[in-house]
Structure 1
Amino acid sequence: MAVTDLHPHLRAEHIEQMSAFGHRLGIAQGEYLLRSGEKAHSLFVILEGTVGIFDDTTQERITTHQPTEFTGNMTALSDRRFEYNAVALTDVVVLQVPQLRLKELISQTQELSELLLRTFLVRRVSEVENKYGSIKLFGSRYCPAVFRLKEFFSKNHVQYVWVDLEKDATSERILQEFGVGVEETPVVITNDHKIFKTPSVEEIAAELGLSSLQDASVFDVVVVGAGPAGLAASVYAASEGLQVATIDALGPGGQAGTSSKIENYLGFPLGISGSELASQAYLQAQKFGCHISIPHEVKSLRFEGNVFQLSLASGHTLKSSTVIAATGAAYRKLSFPNLAMYEGRGVYYAATPMELQLVRGKEVIIVGGGNSAGQAAVFLSAHSSKVHLVIRGHDLRNSMSSYLIRRLEHDPNVTLYTHTEVTALAGDGYLAQVELTDRLSQQKTWKDISNLFLFLGAQPCSAWLRSMTCLDEKGFVVTGRDLTQDTLARYQWPLQRLPQSLETCVPGLFAVGDMRSGSVKRVASAVGEGSMAVSQVHAFLTA
């Protein structure tokens, strides 16, 4: 990575433009411009002198900024806490641009916007590669709470270093010396040296500044779900000047975020991972002023006082003129009584670099015949000793894209089992064996394999809407022309016009993506629906 990509120099006209959004400030040598842990921090353009960026934990100097360079990374547009310390190495003169003014600058100046955002993304890649500003996570690989925290960190692009207590006896002894018992793990140590014992995801999110909710009497639109459909809706709504809040129960990306590589998405001939696509869309939405808050689960939705009111599990209530439901679908679970004890302990629902840490070099079983299963098989085949792909049908042609089928057919490390299903799991606290049954011969075979990946169908995440709007027999939300006159009458549709194509039987409530009845379960389709819903929101608001 070129140094100039990390430290571009602003031209004189750039600095003049930015001056309208900030003010000059003199800072003495040794004083801090930014401290690790600060929220809503400013961007600084160095006009005179030198500024150093330091890792707060190791005190290592990460980089140095010279005149006409600027501070900042992807956290500059969010409420996340800053991960580093910025210190004046000499007496300096800087141009300070507060966060709110920075957002205005980005929305109004195209060339500067592109330069800043490109630099923020490149710096983020550098931080990931070098593990700068990492949170420390101590816990056993067999602990479900550890897996949950790792999943949360990965989805939200939070830098972390995981110390597996099953492999690192020294760390376990150190924790014991500090009086931390096994029952108090996992332990999380943040960049500003706070220690959390057995923390919840919500507790860590609040500490990192991810879950702050923007005060607003009534939003124009609240987007529930930050998968491809929800993020597309967020980007388009915010870019068109609507006041938008987007919430998600775990992190951006949705089901697509678990894909190691999407190769048939328009505009990416080399493919793009679901995580990377979500990360860039997340930043893009913030660029236009969308307020994204994570993790928040909607417990119920009601229409009261001429606005939608969303009751969150945290106890907060959001109010909005319209709502776009984009909570997607989850993979179906096997109906085994002992399944839950193996989740995160050998049973996984995603194949990302996080899961790869646990299965590298080992045999794996993948269950499912869709694209997600195929992408997982291609990804894991390059790192596992053997991949066993299990499907109930007789081939993959009706459920998987042909480019993935060709890859798997020519991969000697992948074995396909047709007419087969998983019928039992075994293991003492951690998955150790998987039973496969041939559905034609009923022959049962036990495999001594401790890693099982499940990509089984889709169950819509629509429980929070059940009392509010019409769902089909499988729980998907019914919209547009699929709403019959009888249904509209039963739900007391109050308008003379019919619902728009993505509108539910409740005016102003829209459903997009995988949770919508009749939708095409593909990333591109979800993005299209998310963007199209915004035009329908506009039509509703201006009617």
Structure 2
Amino acid sequence: MSPASEHVPVLLTVDDDPSVSRAVARDLRRRYSETHRVVRAESGEQAIEALKELKLRGTPVAAVLADYRMPDMDGIQFLEHAMDLFPRARRALLTAYADTDAAIQAINVVDVDHYLLKPWDPPEEKLYPVVDALLESWAASHEEAVEGLRLVGHRWSAASHVVRDFLARNAAPYRWVPADEPEGVRLLEAAGCDPADVPLLVDAAGGAHISPDLATVAAVAGLSTTPSEDFYDLLIVGGGPAGLGAAVYGASEGLRTVLVEKSATGGQAGQSSRIENYLGFPDGVSGGQLADRARRQAVRFGAEVLTARAVAGLDVDGPVRRVRFADGTSVSARSVLLSTGVQWRRLPAPGADDLIGRGVYYGSASTEADACAGQHVYVVGGANSAGQAAVFFSRFADRVTILVRGSSLQASMSSYLIEQVEAIDNLDVRCCTEVLEAHGTDHLEALTLGDRVSGHTERVEAGHLFVFIGAAPRTEWLDGVVARDKDGFVLTGPDLLVDGHRPARWHEQRDPYYLESSVPGVFVAGDVRAASVKRVASAVGEGAMAVTLAHRYLEQS
């Protein structure tokens, strides 16, 4: 593949019938060869490998056309995988007349844009208008990918892991180059970078960024980091399900809306490999897919989404609410929504903190999936996030063990997920077990486990430990501004009233609205709110409800 062709948008077609496959490719090339490159595959597995290669090269994929009836992996299953790799690619299903029910299912399950009935002769009437519409839709929503982005680092470098995880969670295409391989050595030498100073990020123009901070990574990857205005109607802090829901509803209802996020949209939910109990997705949806769709939807309505912006404080100046960032800049708005979610609590085991990003990970680090091949992976936690991660890593690892402090999973994990866990042969659960110590020099090598009932301890070999324990709100930056409970969760609405009395500094002639904090016009939604229901659907609902209450507040201001 020539360097020039790497950046030409691809039309990918997959059909297990060679004659049909050739016919589709022939008709597509006849019409689109001057502007697109047509890639043909004859099985879902072959097509996935092709998509993976295109992803690594940074080649954009505009549309995917998949036959429904294929052995081993049908068209719907393939399109689900394709969505993970290229969520913005338009999707069409090739079906026979008898398969219209399958097409309807595909629309519900994998958000298929269109279905085509075979045969499609003449293509001028039945094929090209559909593909034209797909390409027009892709062009309208497509964000130009950064071409040729390369990341050089060491396998067990915590700093390299941070950048890899940031790029992956933000769906930014890049190519990973190990620092000890010939190409990595050449890039380090060309940049004048000491191998100890990785990661090295090389942009499309050949610019070298040594040990970049996330703001630099975001800028190089083409992510928006700077607000276009100084003042907004609604400023949302945190891009999890609650924040994204508010951004969609706020922008769609005409509010000048900006969302600021420290790392990547989706929050903890965005790291889930499969959410199966969210309304409208009977076969489940990955957290990344859900977050990406919501982000695109918010942007389409006019919301700004800023990444790599760490908040440092909240100021109240009359009717103005100002959020200060860690870099000294700020942005102001008439109303603010706090939807910062929670972060995983640190594992209280000696050695664990020293190995973060080098075998010990908080949350489901999908970038480590391939490295888990043939390994024994340990997952700490007994709630849904831990179960979803364990199911995901069981597809890659030789064995996965869930470590649970409690006596069973029933108290904290959904029943559907428990059934999945119990049905996987290479996945087991150890109850009443905790990690007492993590061992390793440059990376995790072993764990000391303790039985909380018998007191027995044992040392086990381990290269990967994924931690999902507890939930701590990120609200220290709100000290002295809004009321919080003893654990740091933000109090709202009725919980602010003490014996029927309003908060001391409350000057409105009304009680706080249900999702309103102790500061008028500052609302709270999602996991960061005291007494909230820790579910994706409830977070999205609270985000939407907060917009309604913000409208009411703004109308009265």
Alpha-carbon distance in structure 1 between the residues aligned to 2:156 and 2:140: 34
Equivalent of residue 419 in structure 2, options 398, 406, 424: 406
2:138 aligns with: 119
What's the counterpart of residue 215 of structure 2?
202
Instruction: Map 1:127-206; keep pairs closer than 5 Å.
Output: 133-166=147-180, 168-173=181-186, 175-176=188-189, 179-206=192-219
Alpha-carbon distance in structure 2 between the residues aligned to 1:367 and 1:237: 37
Bigger mean CA offset, 132-141 vs 154-163: 132-141
Paired position in structure 2 for 1:462: 475
| Whole-angstrom distance in 2 between the partners of 1:191 and 1:197 | 15
Aligned partners of 1:165 and 1:171 also within 8 Å: yes
Report deviation, 1:141: 1.3
Q: Secondary structure at the match of 1:171?
A: helix
Q: What is the CA distance between 1:367 and its match in structure 2?
A: 0.5
Residue 528 in structure 1 maps to residue 541 in structure 2: yes
Task: Look up the match of 2:257.
Answer: 244
* Counterpart-to-counterpart distance in 1, 2:58 and 2:266: 33
Q: 1:400 to 1:141 in 2, by over 3 A?
A: same
Deviations 1:306-331 (A, max 9, x none): 20011111221111110000000001
Letter in structure 2 aligned against 1:295 = A
Is residue 74–residue 120 contact of structure 1 (8 Å, CA) maintained in 2?
no
Q: Provide the secondary structure at the position in 2 that maps to 1:372.
A: helix
Q: Distance in 2 between matches of 1:59 and 1:509?
A: 41
Equivalent position of 1:307 in the other structure: 320
Q: 2:304 matched to 1:285? A: no
Instruction: Give the corresponding residue for 2:41.
Output: none
Correspondence list, 1:66-465, <5 A: 118-119=137-138, 133-166=147-180, 168-173=181-186, 175-176=188-189, 179-465=192-478
Contact 1:145 1:186 (C-alpha < 8 Å) held by counterparts: yes
Say whether the 8 Å CA contact 2:88–2:138 is kept in structure 1: no
2:10·2:59 contact (CA, 8 Å) conserved in 1? no
After TM superposition, the score normalised by the length of structure 1 is: 0.77
Cα distance between partner residues in 2 of 1:460 and 1:117: 42
Give the CA deviation at 1:467.
Answer: 1.8
Q: CA deviation at 1:466?
A: 2.4
Deviation of residue 486 (structure 1)? 6.3
Contact residue 58 and residue 173 of structure 2 kept, 8 A: no
- C-alpha displacement at 1:264, in angstroms? 1.0
Q: What is the alpha-carbon distance in structure 1 between the residues aligned to residue 413 and residue 158 of structure 2?
A: 31
Task: Output one character per residue of 1:265-299: Cα deviation in whole Å (capped at 9) or x when no partner.
Answer: 11111211101111111110000000111110110
Q: What SS does the aligned partner of 2:161 have?
A: helix
Which amino acid in structure 2 is aligned with residue 516 of structure 1? R
Amino acid at match of 2:264: G
Task: Tell me the secondary structure at the aligned position of residue 391 of structure 2.
Answer: helix
Number of equivalenced pairs: 453
1:350 to partner: Cα distance: 2.5
| Offset, 1:491 | 3.6
Partner Cα distance (1:241, 1:223) in 2: 15
SS of alignment partner, residue 252 of structure 1: coil
CA RMSD of aligned residues (A): 3.4
| Unmatched 5+ stretches in structure 2 | 1-8, 15-31, 38-53, 64-85, 90-129
- 1:341–1:429 contact (8 Å) kept in structure 2: no
Shift of 1:209: 3.9
Pairwise CA distance, 1:385? 0.5
In the TM superposition, residue 398 of structure 1 has moved relative to its aligned partner by 1.1
Query: Using the alignment, how far apart are the partners of 1:406 and 1:529 within structure 2?
Result: 30
CA distance, structure 2, for counterparts of residue 364 and residue 58 of structure 1: 30
Map 1:506-521 → 2, pairs under 5 A: 506-521=519-534
In the alignment, residue 192 of structure 1 is paired with which amino acid?
A
Letter in 2 for 1:190: D
C-alpha separation in 1, matches of 2:278 and 2:140: 21
**Aligned-partner residue type, residue 408 of structure 1:** V
Q: Which amino acid aligns with 1:143?
A: S
Which letter maps to 1:394? Answer: S
Quick check: 1:469–1:491 contact (8 Å CA) kept in 2?
no
1:139 CA displacement = 0.5
Render the CA deviation track for 1:142-198: whole Å, top value 9, x for unaligned.
1111111111101211001111224x2453255336532113321111122211112
Q: In the alignment, is the contact (CA less than 8 A) between 2:200 and 2:211 conserved in 1?
A: yes
Q: Distance in 2 between matches of 1:522 and 1:490?
A: 29
Distance 1:321 1:116, change over 3 A: farther
Cα distance in 1 between the residues matched to 2:33 and 2:457? 73
- State the alpha-carbon separation in 2 of the partners of residues 189 and 205 from structure 1: 13
For 2:62 and 2:337, the matched residues in 1 are separated by 42
Aligned residue identity for 1:356: A
Aligned amino acid, residue 158 of structure 2: P
In 2, Cα distance between equivalents of 1:219 and 1:144: 37
- How far is 1:338 from its partner? 2.9
Instruction: Tell me the equivalent position of 2:78.
Output: none
Q: TM-score if structure 2 supplies the norm length?
A: 0.75
Partner of 2:510: 497
Letter of the 2:149 counterpart:
I
Deviation per residue, 1:323-381 (Å, 9 max, x gap): 00000000111123532221110011232531213322211110100000010111111
Distance 2:192 2:12 in 1: 47
- Contact between 1:5 and 1:119, CA under 8 Å: does it hold in 2? no
Q: Which amino acid aligns with 2:284?
A: G
- Return the letter of the residue paired with 1:203: T
